[in-house]
Every structure is written in C-alpha cells, then in structure tokens.
Structure 1
Amino acid sequence: MSEHSAKELLEKSELGIHGWDLVSEGGKLKLQRSWKAKSFMKALEFFQLVAEVAEAEGHHPDLHLVCWNNVKIDLWTHSVGGLTENDFILAAKVNALHVENLLRRKASD
C-alpha cells in the first residue's frame, strides 16, 4: 500500500482507526499507537486482550512494553513488508476493545 493510500484510510473517521499514526521505519510503513496503562499488570492485561483479537484475525502486531506502563503497538504486514487493509482492520478492532479500566484517563498521560 502506498503512503498516499494509507493516509487516506487514516483520515476516514468512519473506519474507527482514530489515534493511530502512520510511521516509516526502515522504509516500511506501519501503523503505530501508544497508551499508558494504570499499572504493569494492567499493561499485560491490555496486551492479552489485543493478543486474543490478533489471534482470531490471524494477524499479529508487534507489541512493546516500555518501562512499566507504556504500551505501544506497531501494525504492518510482515509478509509484504508494509501496510495492507488487514492492518487497518486490526487497528479498528483494537480501538473497539473495552480497555478503559486498564488505561489512564488520557491516552497521552
């Protein structure tokens, strides 16, 4: 998927992928989003919920836990070395998870 196409998809609010950023790392386009969990254990619970959705979709993101409560997800299709529609579908499904009890009030806290 081209960067232009990816940006167009990100701008479509009806897709439910707000909060995700388009990044280029090593020439690969990725969707990326970060959150702050309430605690270390809540961060792991968050990842478990994401893992369940990812496993059901057969599409597995890169999950990062930095320090004790900073969680980050990188979405990209490893087999094509960039973004596909599946990445946007998984981003929307992650956004639809009910994780308010696991995260700090503001995603940017």
Structure 2
Amino acid sequence: MQPMEDQTANELLKQVRDWKLLHEDGIMKLQRFWKVKSFTKGIELFQLVTDIAEAEGHHPDLHLFGWNNVKIEIWTHTVGGLTENDFILAAKINSLKMDHLLRIKTAAGTV
C-alpha cells in the first residue's frame, strides 16, 4: 500500500472539519488542536479517542501540552503517510461528544 497523493488528501480533507494537512519530514499527516478546560479534561478527551482508536485498530499520536492544549496527529505509520483509514478515524473523532471537555466553544466547533 502506498500513501495517498496530496490531491487526494486535499479532496478528503473537505470531509473532516477542523483538521489540517501537515507535511513533516516528508510524511503527510492529519492534525487537529483543541483547548480543554483542564489537564484532567485533556486526559478524558484522550480516553474518548482511545476507545475509537482501539475499536478501529488505528492509533493516532496524542499530545497534551501546556496543561490544556490537545493535539492529535493521524497517519498510517506502516505506509509513511495518509490512507483513507486516517480520514475515517478523523471523522469518527469529530463525531465524539466532547463539548463538556472544551474550554472554548464556537458555532463551528472548537478553537
């Protein structure tokens, strides 16, 4: 399996609100940030994501920094880039009910 091309990734990106493409060390990834109410709310968000990741058998990189900033990066490690499964996981993460964890809410989601 080969990682997808930029054009395909840009088309699929339209279906996963608030995610962006990241090119890092020659690897294309999906990335999204959230600001949570507290450190413990960040851990709760990770648990929600972990439940989906385990069910999918696809595990994102989870980062909690500055006590209330969450960053998630998704990419398929075995192919060294993005596959359709990465966008599926991003969409499932977007479907999580997490407003109670977030510090800043907007009409379009989170900042």
Q: TM-score, normalised by structure 2?
A: 0.91
1:34 equivalenced with 2:6 (yes/no): no
How much has 1:104 moved relative to structure 2?
1.5
* Matched residue type, 1:68: W
The one-character-per-residue Cα deviations of 1:19-70 (angstroms, maximum 9, x if unpaired) are 0000100000000000000001000000000000000000000000111010
Alignment partner of 1:7 is 2:10:
yes
Q: What SS does structure 2 have at the residue aligned with 1:42? A: helix
Contact 2:31 2:71 in 1 (8 A): yes
Alignment of 1:1-80 (within 5 A): 1-11=4-14, 15=15, 17-80=16-79
Deviation at 1:10, TM superposition (A): 1.0
4+ runs of 1 displaced by more than 6 Å? none
Q: Partner of 1:54: helix, strand, or coil?
A: helix
Question: What is the alpha-carbon distance in structure 1 between the residues aligned to residue 53 and residue 75 of structure 2?
Answer: 12
Please give the TM-score of this superposition, normalised by the length of structure 1. Answer: 0.93
Counterpart of 1:90? 89
Take 2:104 and 2:21, find their aligned partners in 1: how far apart are those partners? 23
Q: How many residues align?
A: 104
Is 2:101 the counterpart of 1:102?
A: yes
- Determine what percentage of the aligned residue pairs are the same residue: 62
Query: Secondary structure of the residue that 2:29 maps to in structure 1?
Result: strand
Q: Is the 8 A contact 2:64 2:71 kept in 1?
A: yes
- In structure 2, the gaps of 5 or more residues are none
